[in-house]
A and B are shown apart, each in its own frame.
Chain A
Amino acid sequence: MSLASVSETGSIPIRKRRFARRALPYLLSLPALLVCIGILVPFVTAAYYSLMRFRLNLPALKGFIWFDNYINFLSDSAFWNTVSISLVYAFVTVAVELVLGLGIALLLVKPSRLNNLASILLLLPLMTAPALAALMWKLMTNPNFGILSYLVGLIGFTDFRWASDPRTALLTVTLVDVWVYTPFIMILLLAGLRSLPKQPFEAAALDGVPRSFVFFRITLPMLMPYIITASLFRLLDSIQQFDIVYSLTQGGPGDKLMVFQVQAYLEFFQYTNVGRSAALMMVLWAITYFLSNIFIKQWLKLRERARGVS
């Protein structure tokens, strides 16, 4: 081995080490960067298509129309119906699920064998695929042989048409949603309730504070971060509802349940209108982003307050 080669080989590890030291932060963040790109590619593609007139079966018309898809929404009553139905659906289901979930969590808060068993059993609906749950409810609400139709018949509603009637369609899908997702809220709030510090409750009990006061002034404020977290998750999920509505009514009767995802799905898969479908999804993204921002800001405020910063 020559002298030159020794000095060369001796200098390489130093250069390598220096390079590795400089590159390390970038290498460490590389997986996150790749995930980020993976997430952004479909998003950017959808944003790009939303600016196009793009129907797969009218290739000659394909081209950039910039914001025309969005501008057309402004004068489209079907679009505003979709916005309104999606928001009503999301807020109504989450509100009902919160009330029920909180109520059940309060009933199960004391750990006991029975309560633990009940909380496990109550989780079962959450393990059912929503589309399957919807089909199950479709059978139960069948006016000819459905058990629920029979039961409501006993209390005088002999011609109750559930999801087939525009007046009761929203109620029906809400019931299915509540059945599937209330356990999700319940389990989050139950975990929250059981992790609350015991001292304020013990002090209140010693002072003989009324239960309603304890609930509204101690339990509820302390539980608020959990309530907001559960509401945020459910609201984001609810506004993107697809499987329950599509399995039960395909968005009908008429356009009574034409929520965003169902409309976008139909636009793409049945009407092959890629541009309009993508624009609908972008609007849904904007609404979701706006709502989650409000919730996250609220949640951060509560966290700061809990730490005694404000």
Chain B
Amino acid sequence: MFERGRDLTARFVKGEISRREMLKGASRLGLGIATTGFLLNESMTRAMAADFDWMKFKGTKLKLLLNKHPYADAMIADLENFKSMTGMDVSYDIFPEDVYFDKVTAALSSSSSEYDAFMTGAYMTWTYGPAGWVDDLNEYIKDPAKTNPNYNWEDVLPGLRASTAWNGVPGGELGSADAKQWCTPWGFELNSVAYNRKIFDKVGVEPPKNMEDLMNVAAKVTKDAGGPYGIGVRGSRSWATIHPGFLSAYSNFEQRDFTVTDGKLKAAMNTDVSKSFHKQWVQMIQDSGPKNWSTYTWYQVGTDLGAGASGMIFDADILGYFMNGGDNKEAGNIAYTPFAANPAAKAPTPNVWIWSLALSSFSKQKDAAWYFMQWATSTEHDLFGARKMDFVNPVRASVWKDEEFRARIDKSYPGYLKQYEASSEGSKIYFTPQPLFFDLTTQWAETLQKMVAKEIPVDEGLDKLAENIDKQLKDAGIGG
């Protein structure tokens, strides 16, 4: 029965029978969903191995540095397939996000060869790339001797491919022709509004349509919901406060962090439009944000929504996704809506966070590590994660078209796909790539904290911030 099941899934993978026919056949054979899923995954792995010598590095031992995340969980759940396909052994260290990037910096800055590949975000490669800590993956992707012919790099969403490629020139366009591919996108999140339908119904409000609406709805929830506050957004003294909802809304007003003239950068966050937007954002937090906003990271923003302590969040869409499941108090009550802050904008402009995989320049087995990376970012693994695990949002266009994945999401997370489709077109990294990203963006968050605490007026705060930033850019030789 097992062998016949194997034949059946192999025929499906080859395209000889349809999904419906395969499922019917499996049920005739008495195979359960889990067994069918296992056999299907195994057949896909075998098909993947057909045209490429995956056994080339048999016996090699790889070590990975991972962040504790559902993407890593999905990879670990499928790792046996990679091991059996390649004959390689893979071990890994997993760290919580609070300390993860410090661990990466410590490992790479000491030129340690302990880890061959590691999880990273695109912003981090603006440090790792120029420092010479990660390899340009174009050298691997474009080499047919190193990359599986079925890898289909073009299937990875173009905005994500571009967002993870930079030429190393401060202010240089992401994804330009001379850009180096510092990492491969693995899973990503775009920033959008997720709200508690029960609270919204109780208060009698509709999902917000623009910034002013967002402020009003948040204020009404705070006033009338009888406990929950209006809106959860990040507020800790970190660059991570700027990149989700804040930058997504800011970009929707066509505002930038810097202007670039003749390769020189100049701070641009003190324009009139920017000041007006900052005033609205600050007001919104003062009126309807969490009381201890200045300590809020994604974790507090998410758990408050899941616990019914907030009416809505403007953060990563997958945060709303995760809070609608598991043993969260409000599971099943969370809804999603695309959000364009600027009433004159045609569509949302969400800034994105892309969990990616990078290849350490200090690895002593780079080709073998690249085998792992291309497997982990392959269509087959992406599909496995999207169908069977919580690997959302997948980075491949073909996976977004997969019926099984779409049906699962639509059933368990109503409205999520609609939100994604309305938001994805305008989604990309809206920061200007430059080497002082973490210092300067953290200073932006610090200034925002001072404004919310009424320590400094918005206009004055932004002028001072721009002045400080311009000085630092000049000192680093990249300011105009």
Contact = CB atoms under 8 A, between A and B. Distances in A.
B410 interface: no
Interface stretch (A10-18, A105-113, A120-128, A251-259): A251-259
Interface in B129-181: 130-132
A59 B453 contact: no
A57 B131 contact: yes
Interface centre among A165, A248, A250, A253 (most CB of B within 10 A): A253
A266 B442 contact: yes
Contacts of A56: 109, 127, 131
B295 to A, nearest CB: 6
Contacts of B40: none
A56 B126 CA distance: 11
Contact of A254 (B238, B295, B446): B446
A192 interface: no
Nearest to A248: B295
Nearest to B434: A57
Given A166-B455, A253-B449, A272-B105, A59 B130 contact: yes
A163 interface: yes
Contacts of A266: 442
Interface in B108-142: 109, 126-128, 130-132
Interface string A252-280: 11110000000000101111110000000
B474 interface: no
Contact of B237 (A58, A143, A249): A249
Interface string A223-257: 00000000000000000000000001111111100
A253 B453 contact: yes
A184 B105 CA distance: 35
Interface residues of A, number: 33
A3 to B, nearest CB: 61
A164 B130 contact: no
B453 A166 contact: yes
Contacts of B337: none
A250 B98 CA distance: 11
Contacts of B450: 166, 253-254
Interface string B227-259: 000000000111100000000000000000000
B449 A254 contact: yes
A159 interface: yes
Interface stretch (B52-60, B202-210, B286-294, B391-399): B286-294
Given A144-B291, A163-B292, A253-B294, A57 B130 contact: yes
A168 B375 CA distance: 51
B477 interface: yes
A138 B295 contact: yes
A55 B440 CA distance: 14
B132 A59 contact: yes
B466 to A, nearest CB: 16
Contacts of B453: 165-166, 253-254
Contacts of A306: none
Give the most central of A59, A143, A162, A166: most B CB within 10 Å.
A166
Contacts of B442: 266, 270-271
A75 B447 CA distance: 20
Contacts of B106: 269
Given A143-B291, A164-B295, A273 B439 contact: yes
A61 interface: yes
B166 to A, nearest CB: 12
B293 A164 contact: yes
Interface in A144-198: 144, 159, 161-166
Contacts of B292: 141-143, 161-164
B199 interface: no
Interface in B267-298: 290-295
B309 interface: yes
B34 interface: no
B435 interface: yes
Interface string A30-70: 00000000000000000000000001111101000000000
Nearest to B310: A144
Interface string A185-229: 000000000000000000000000000000000000000000000
B3 interface: no
Max chain B C-beta neighbours (<10 A), residue from A57, A138, A166: A57
18 contacts: A57-B126, A57-B127, A57-B131, A59-B131, A138-B295, A141-B292, A143-B291, A144-B309, A161-B291, A165-B453, A249-B295, A250-B236, A254-B237, A269-B101, A269-B102, A271-B439, A271-B442, A272-B438
Given A58-B130, A164-B295, 9 more contacts: A57-B126, A57-B130, A59-B130, A141-B292, A250-B238, A251-B237, A252-B294, A268-B105, A269-B102
Interface of B: 101-102, 105-106, 109, 126-128, 130-132, 236-239, 290-295, 304, 309, 435-436, 438-439, 442, 446-447, 449-450, 453, 455, 476-477
Interface of A: 55-59, 61, 138, 141-144, 159, 161-166, 248-255, 266, 268-273
